[in-house]
Amino acid sequence: MKIGIPRETRPGETRVATTPEIVKKLLGLGFQVQVEAGAGAAAHYLDADYAAAGAKLVGRDQVFLSDLLLKVRRPTKEEIQAMRPNSLYIGPIESCGEDAGIAALRNKNIQVLAVERIPRISRAQSMDVLSSQSNIAGYRAVIEAAAHYGRFFPMMMTSAGSAKPARLIVLGAGVAGLQAIATARRLGAEVSAYDVRPETREQIESLGAKAIQLDIGENGTGEGGYAKELSEAAQAKQQAALAEVLAQAHILIATAQIPCRPAPVLITEAVVRRMRPGSVIVDLAAANGGNCPLTEPDQVVVKEGVILVGYTNFPAKMPSDASAFYANNLFQLLKILVEPSEAGPVLKALDQDEITKAMRVGS
């Protein structure tokens, strides 16, 4: 069975779906691995390293004729046209419902396993792409905040004077938010965090941050450990209760998102106007409307004297480790997806395992 690793072509995407280290492991499972020439260049993985690991370097047309295609981003219309009928695609589908891309895959009888649908159960943790990439996003968000903030993060006392620690608030205590808390604490900031799910308080405090508690009359815990959308009344209470504390912050890291819904507005324009000039907002929800309505996707802008960072692909800013984590996630998935035979690995029925059954799309 041939695995294909194409070069990602979406603007700003620097990751690759596997690394030379994982190529060796895939060969150990009996796969043949075809890598498009240059596929790993932006992530600092060289063609020579893939070849030395045992992969075959091929052209773009050939890589899409593989039995099993691994990608970092959803395939484009042209990529779907190039894919071999009756093959298997594993990667993100980046859709909450039926669309033209899913229909095109189904028309070619291509089976689809969407990595964002991996269930959050204990035996799937090593395959959890969303968590591994969100972890990187949370770290990088704080690094971006530090780069744009014109002051120190920690308290500094020198012969030239002293500086107070930055007051940083993280909104949302999922994987990205918790990593942001941990990173900001390491850099010496004074950190607080807020999440609509009461059960996150212990996690926030375990990292040395202060948990912001608000009485909004609703529990925001949804299915699968995710947050759910609040009622309009609860959202209004939330914004009003948050306004005073957010306005006093020097840095806001906003990570709150709801699957298949617009991001909740937590940082209003009124709050931005009250923040100290030079303050920074890093909005990880920019691709879904933003936790701040002033955020502009993939732009860094200054509004009301506040710097708003709206990058939509933080993992791509750390492509080497992001690719390594992603590649290992997929390798762990492939281990449960096939069974060995003398002729090579044989694909199991996709509804045979609860993990792959939950990942199936368009069937």
Q: Give the dihedral of Cα atoms 77, 79, 85, 90; nearest 10 deg.
A: -100
352 catalytic per annotation: no
Is the alpha carbon torsion for 245, 247, 253, 258 positive or negative?
A: positive
How far is the first Cα of the chain from the last one, in angstroms, to the nearest whole number?
A: 23
120 catalytic per annotation: yes
Catalytic residue among 131, 203, 239, 279: 131
131 catalytic per annotation: yes
Dist CA 119 CA 98 (whole Å)? 20
Half-sphere CA count of 72, side-chain side, radius 13 A: 31
Catalytic residue among 66, 128, 192, 239: 128
- Please name which of 278, 286, 328, 330 lies closest in space to residue 303, comparing C-alpha atoms: 278
Catalytic residue among 226, 235, 274, 353: 226
Catalytic residue among 120, 185, 274, 360: 120
162 catalytic per annotation: no
Buried b (16+ CB within 10 A) or exposed e, 174-210: bbbbbbbbbbbbebebbbbbbbbbeebbebbeebebe
117 catalytic per annotation: no
Backbone angles phi, psi at 43, to 5 degrees: -100, 10
Residues acting as catalytic residues: 120, 125, 128, 131, 226
